[in-house]
Amino acid sequence: MSAETAIGIHDLSFRTTSLVLNHCELARSNGTDVAKYHKGLGQHAMSVPTADEDIVTMAAAAALPLVQRHGPDRIRTVVLATESSIDQSKAAGVYVHSLLGLPPHVRVVEVKQACYGATAALQFAGGLVHRDPDQQVLVIASDISRYDLDSPGEATQGAAAAAMLVSADPALLELTGPSGLFTADVMDFWRPNYRATALVNGKESVTAYLNAVEGSWRDYRARGGLPLEDFRAFCYHQPYTRLAFKAHRALLETCGARADDDVLQQAVAPTTGYNETVGNSYTASVYLALTAVLENCSDLDGRTLGLFSYGSGSVAEFIATQVRPGYRSHLRADAHREAVGARQPIDYETYRGLRLQNLPTDGSWYELPHQTRGPFRLAALRDHQRIYEAA
């Protein structure tokens, strides 16, 4: 393969759930000042799945437009990243492979490292394409974040899936240069197998995140990465959007650069539009930020974007991407705005009722109500098997 051949993201699509809980409604129900959510967290709403939506249905819905535009024939690998896995053995991507009608000669795997997993998948994909530039790799990040009801983390919940087609000579973004890496054994956020909701040490989580920002950036620069001033914008993993601004301020201070509000707004504000209304989508979060900046800025041809991917526990990576000329003609802004805008608002009682529903675990047959507005649904559980269908 020629050393000059670019490898990166050829196409990008995301989808979310059919329902949305507005933070004004959440604040009304629990007596919280809504400014705590709007200003303190930077969150305005959160996506809520219907009973027949899960990480598989969102993943398939996100990937479907990519398969429809480019066809399935060059896809040789599907990597699905999630921390909301539905099975300890079978990869969720196998269900997606079936729903999308992909050919049998495809490898399908699932990867996990908290919210960082999709970036690992992206790097794996780049390596496969480098070895065989005729193939394409479908990378999907799909998650539903859940915290205990009435807990501090409840307001940051969310759900979404982002799908990326990785190829040679990409239309959107080229992966460039070295990566900056950082790993530390911390207990900032975790979910044991026996729990359906995560455990969070809030103060430790912010500290670990900011340490990872500094550590991955220092490693990136030590390996010959670009200086700060070469970047047009920075896409951060966004558990809540205000943390992205805090992270960038910390990065600027680490570099001895000016860190006033104007600088922060220019570098970070274009990335938050989807995350602030979808909520924390774990592995998909940084790629919703990337989608937002590509759609919000018209001056990105040939410019460099920084991506900071963080997964609690913790593993982080900083990578640089170069926007390809003519990228705007390949974007899906209308479809993404429709996916977010078409969600049905629900009241707190409806949301709470959905949260308290539990699928049977005894192998009994169970038919789910048809509630989703998406193209795929979880139709039933039978003999401990999940049955999916086109909606």
Q: Please report the DSSP string for 327-387 in residue order.
A: GGGG--HHHHHHHHHTPEE--HHHHHHHHH-----S---EEPP----SSEEEEEEETTEEE
Nearest CA-CA partner of 336 in 303, 304, 300, 289? 289
Tell me whether residue 302 is in a domain: yes
CB 382 within 8 A of CB 389: no
C-alpha to C-alpha distance for 304 and 226, rounded to whole angstroms: 9
Tell me whether residue 2 is in a domain: no
CB 270 within 8 A of CB 238: no
Query: Quick one: 70 exposed, middle or buried, by C-beta within 10 A (0-12, 13-18, 19+)?
Result: middle
Structural domains counted in the chain: 2
Clarify whether residues 151 and 293 are in a common domain: no
Clarify whether residues 263 and 348 are in a common domain: no
C-alpha to C-alpha distance for 51 and 92, rounded to whole angstroms: 18
Q: How far is CA 271 from each of CA 6, 156, 176, 193, 288, rounded to the nearest angstrom?
A: 24, 17, 20, 33, 8
Clarify whether residues 162 and 215 are in a common domain: no
C-alpha to C-alpha distance for 77 and 288, rounded to whole angstroms: 22
SS (H, E, C) 222-289: HCCCCCHHHEEEEEECCCCHHHHHHHHHHHHHHCCCCCCHHHHHHHHHHHCCCHHHHCCCHHHHHHHH
Clarify whether residues 128 and 260 are in a common domain: no
Clarify whether residues 127 and 216 are in a common domain: no
Handedness of CA 284, 355, 312, 260 (dihedral sign): positive
Q: Which of 327, 348, 378 is the last residue of a domain?
A: 327
**pLDDT for 369:** 97
Tell me whether residue 381 is in a domain: yes
299: tokens are: 């001056």
Clarify whether residues 42 and 77 are in a common domain: yes
* N residues, the chain: 391
Query: Quick one: 193 exposed, middle or buried, by C-beta within 10 A (0-12, 13-18, 19+)?
Result: exposed
**pLDDT for 202:** 84
Clarify whether residues 242 and 105 are in a common domain: no
Active site residues: 83, 115, 237
**pLDDT for 1:** 43
119: tokens are: 């970036």
> What's the pTM value of the predicted model, to 2 decimals?
0.97
CB 165 within 8 A of CB 10: yes
- Segments forming the whole domain that contains residue 212: 174-327
Clarify whether residues 128 and 39 are in a common domain: yes
Tell me whether residue 1 is in a domain: no
Angle 348-349-352 (CA atoms, 0-180°, nearest 5)? 85
CATH number of the CATH domain containing 350:
3.40.47.10
C-alpha to C-alpha distance for 293 and 304, rounded to whole angstroms: 12
Clarify whether residues 184 and 267 are in a common domain: yes
Longest dimension (CA), the chain: 61
C-alpha to C-alpha distance for 275 and 253, rounded to whole angstroms: 25
Tell me whether residue 28 is in a domain: yes
User: Residue 111 in 3-state DSSP?
Assistant: strand
Clarify whether residues 281 and 381 are in a common domain: no
Nearest CA-CA partner of 271 in 254, 251, 248? 248
Tell me whether residue 162 is in a domain: yes
Measured between its terminal Cα atoms, the distance across the chain in Å is 42
C-alpha to C-alpha distance for 125 and 137, rounded to whole angstroms: 6
Clarify whether residues 147 and 211 are in a common domain: no
Tell me whether residue 304 is in a domain: yes
Q: Which of 275, 299, 327 is the last residue of a domain?
A: 327
C-alpha to C-alpha distance for 77 and 177, rounded to whole angstroms: 24
Clarify whether residues 162 and 178 are in a common domain: no
Mean pLDDT per block of 10 residues along the chain (391 residues) reads 80 98 97 96 98 98 98 98 97 98 98 98 98 98 97 96 98 97 97 94 94 98 98 98 98 95 96 98 98 96 98 98 97 98 98 95 97 98 98 92
Angle 231-235-240 (CA atoms, 0-180°, nearest 5)? 145
Please give the single-letter amino acid code of residue 207: T
Tell me whether residue 143 is in a domain: yes
Q: Which of 327, 348, 371 is the last residue of a domain?
A: 327
